[in-house]
Structure 1
Amino acid sequence: MHIMEGFLPVSHAVGWTLAALPCVAAGVVALRRQLAAQPQLRPVLGLAAAFAFVLSALKLPSVSGSSSHATGVGLGALLFGPWVMVPIGTVVLLFQALLLAHGGLTTLGANVFSMAVVGPWVAYGVFRAAGGLGLGLSASVFLAACLGDLATYLCTSIQLAWAFPDPVGGFIAALQKFVGIFAFTQLPLAISEGLLTVLVVNALRRFNAEELRLMPSLAHREVLR
């Protein structure tokens, strides 16, 4: 679920935009450095961007009457690092707001923060932690993509609960409601995204192993294992 156009109060929309802007700027710098240092990775980067666009564009009805999406940003975060996915996720969200009416321009900052900042960083952190615990590459990829997806929706729930606290229970009660609204739909979506990301990474290991060896985030892992 991208927060829809005009849904957030003005102060929250502005606040999340200001929070997202420095992340986007840092991501643009990281993206430029990555492409300047390794221009041969452009096709794989394009694949990661397309993966995020397609998965996050697929809208599934939620039991609450709203809708849920996979995010697709975990793949790029694992391959290129979380900063690179911030501008890519921003462009994905901007195109979806303009072309598909998913999300909106006033809520773009909030959606960028949840899907393009929090999601990639959680996915990358889980991936590195899983590798440190000795888990195999496929298990690490699955956990990273799955938990990165869920982290995006937890962040969105926090944003909505902060904007619309429960009249009786306040922020905590509102957060419980928003998390509960999406849990039934998002849990299977997150698992599906984890499995699909594993399939894509395994395909890359088979057909693009040389490119994977050049990626800093995979430098500590044996991509052919």
Structure 2
Amino acid sequence: MDHATKQKLTITSVALSSFSFIAYLLYPTNASAMHIMEGMLPPKWCIFWFAVSTPFFVYGLYRMNKIVKSSTQNAKVMLALCGAFVFVLSSLKMPSVTGSCSHPTGVGLGTVMFGPGVMSVLGVIVLLFQALLLAHGGLTTLGANNFSMTVVGPFVGFAVYKICRAFKVNRSVSLFLCAMLADWSTYVTTSFQLAVVFPDPNGGVLGAAIKFLGIYAVTQIPLAIAEGFLTVIVYNLVISNNLWKEASLG
């Protein structure tokens, strides 16, 4: 068996074992909307979040074009793996706030390997598949969901990872914190997105955001911790099998 074949088999085994492990632990119960469902946001807020997300999407296309055209070993395969990782993890949902749900985001892996920019494009692809094929989420809320999960999450996670590495924190610990905090920051953002539309009668936007955060925390804290550990396992397997170099494109 040649080296290229061994690499392909290793990639496949890493992907299948990781996804099977998650599915076993977090098998979804009832289908519910991904993040914010169709019809939950007024038209003006749908337009606003689309407008805010668009520059990041354009930048992501630029980054993805460079990755596809690069000569970096396994760049395209790893890009596909990161997209599949986001898709599978974000498909594993637990009912939460009415009109939304809790689930892992899976953005930490791609953020560390390719940087945060490309995750916006992967996020749009994943969210479109979710909305059109699985009836999770929606087209009108695509901008809001993309902004929270694959804009805010990756940029927060990337900043955390870079700061940790600058202070010589262990790579696995840095990656764990990146994935976990990227997940949490996604739901902090979602809480405020919902709070602006549905303010509390007494506490206003801030009061509503605190309530949403309290509900999300029940499921999202343990989910994010589990996601952090799994991201470390997958990344270390990829690196240890020489499928990717740590400083290739991130």
What's the TM-score, normalizing by structure 1?
0.91
User: Do the aligned partners of residues 107 and 51 (structure 1) sit closer, same or farther apart at CA in structure 2, a change above 3 Å counting?
Assistant: same
- Secondary structure, in 3 states, of the residue corresponding to 1:191? helix
Match of 1:31 in 2: 64
User: Do the aligned partners of residues 93 and 66 (structure 1) sit closer, same or farther apart at CA in structure 2, a change above 3 Å counting?
Assistant: closer
* CA distance in structure 2 between the partners assigned to 1:28 and 1:38 by the alignment: 18
| 1:82 matched to 2:116 | yes
Amino acid in the other structure paired with 2:152: V
Alpha-carbon deviation of 1:68? Answer: 0.8
Amino acid in the other structure paired with 1:23: F
* CA distance in structure 1 between the partners assigned to 2:228 and 2:140 by the alignment: 30
Q: Deviations over 1:176-200 (max 9, x none)?
A: 1110110010000000000000000
Amino acid in the other structure paired with 1:205: I
* CA distance in structure 1 between the partners assigned to 2:99 and 2:147 by the alignment: 24
Of 32, 50, 63, the match for 1:17: 50
Match of 2:85 in 1: 51
* CA distance in structure 1 between the partners assigned to 2:48 and 2:93 by the alignment: 27
Of 46, 62, 67, the match for 2:101: 67
User: Do the aligned partners of residues 127 and 201 (structure 1) sit closer, same or farther apart at CA in structure 2, a change above 3 Å counting?
Assistant: same
Q: Would you say the 8 A contact 1:63–1:184 is kept in 2? A: no
User: Do the aligned partners of residues 136 and 53 (structure 1) sit closer, same or farther apart at CA in structure 2, a change above 3 Å counting?
Assistant: same
Q: Deviations over 1:57-83 (max 9, x none)?
A: 111234879531100011101100000
* CA distance in structure 2 between the partners assigned to 1:131 and 1:98 by the alignment: 39
Amino acid in the other structure paired with 1:113: F
Runs of 4+ in 1 over 3 A off after TM superposition: 61-66
Segments of structure 2 that go 5 or more residues without pairing to the other structure are 1-33
* CA distance in structure 2 between the partners assigned to 1:213 and 1:71 by the alignment: 22
- Secondary structure, in 3 states, of the residue corresponding to 1:215? coil
**Identity of counterpart residues, as a percentage?**
51
Alpha-carbon deviation of 1:162? Answer: 0.9
Q: Would you say the 8 A contact 2:41–2:197 is kept in 1? A: yes
Q: Would you say the 8 A contact 1:64–1:182 is kept in 2? A: no
Segments of structure 1 that go 5 or more residues without pairing to the other structure are 218-225
Match of 1:162 in 2: 196
What's the TM-score, normalizing by structure 2?
0.83
Match of 1:115 in 2: 149
Alpha-carbon deviation of 1:214? Answer: 5.5
Of 151, 155, 165, the match for 1:131: 165
* CA distance in structure 2 between the partners assigned to 1:164 and 1:99 by the alignment: 28
User: Do the aligned partners of residues 64 and 5 (structure 1) sit closer, same or farther apart at CA in structure 2, a change above 3 Å counting?
Assistant: closer
| 1:3 matched to 2:40 | no
* CA distance in structure 2 between the partners assigned to 1:67 and 1:187 by the alignment: 13
Amino acid in the other structure paired with 1:93: L
| 1:183 matched to 2:217 | yes
Of 151, 176, 193, the match for 1:142: 176
Total equivalences in the alignment: 216
Higher helix proportion: 1
